[in-house]
Amino acid sequence: MNRAAAAGYSTDDVARLLGVDPRRVRSFVAAGFLAPRRKGRAYRFSFQDLVILRAAHGLLEAGIPPQRVQSALARLRRQLPRGRSLAAVRISPEGGQVVVRDGAEVWEPESGQRQLPYPDFAGFEGFAVAELAERAAPHARRAVAEAERRGDLDAEDWYEVAYDLEATALDEAERAYRRALRLDPAHADAHVNLGRLLHAAGDAAAAEGHYRQAAALRPADPTPAFNLGVALQDLGRPREALAAYRRAVASDPAFADAWFNLAGLHSQLGDPRAALRSLKRYRDLVRPRR
pLDDT in tens, 104-146: 677 777 676 666 444 443 333 456 666 777 777 787 777 777 7
Strands ordered across the beta sheet of 105-107: 105-107, 97-102, 89-94, 127-128
- Please indicate whether the domains covering 3-132 and 206-290 agree at the CATH topology level: no
State the average pLDDT over residues 80-105.
66
Q: 280-288 contacts: CB < 8 A, separation 24 or more?
A: 281/249, 282/256, 285/114, 285/254, 285/256, 285/259, 286/114, 286/116, 286/256, 287/116, 288/113, 288/114, 288/115, 288/116
Q: At 45, phi and psi to the nearest 5?
A: -100, 140
Please enumerate in sequence order all residues whose Cβ is within 8 A of that of 49, keeping only pairs 6 or more positions apart, or say none: 9, 14, 34, 36
- CATH homologous superfamily, domain 206-290: Tetratricopeptide repeat domain (1.25.40.10)
Give per-residue pLDDT as tens, 180-222: 999 999 999 999 999 999 999 999 999 999 999 999 999 999 9
Provide the residue ranges of all domains of the chain, joining segments of one domain with +.
3-132, 206-290
Confidence of residue 151 (pLDDT cuts 50, 70, 90): confident
> What's the CA gap between 205 and 255, in Å, rounded?
24
Confidence of residue 101 (pLDDT cuts 50, 70, 90): confident
Cα angle, residue 117 at apex, residues 114 and 122 outer, rounded to 5°: 95
Three-state secondary-structure class, residue 214: helix
> What's the CA gap between 75 and 85, in Å, rounded?
17
Q: Is the pLDDT of residue 244 over 90?
A: yes
Residue 236 corresponds to which amino acid? G
Tell which CATH classification among 1.20.58.1290, 1.10.1660.10, 3.30.70.380, 1.10.150.120 matches the domain 3-132.
1.10.1660.10
DSSP state of 288: P
Three-state secondary-structure class, residue 223: helix
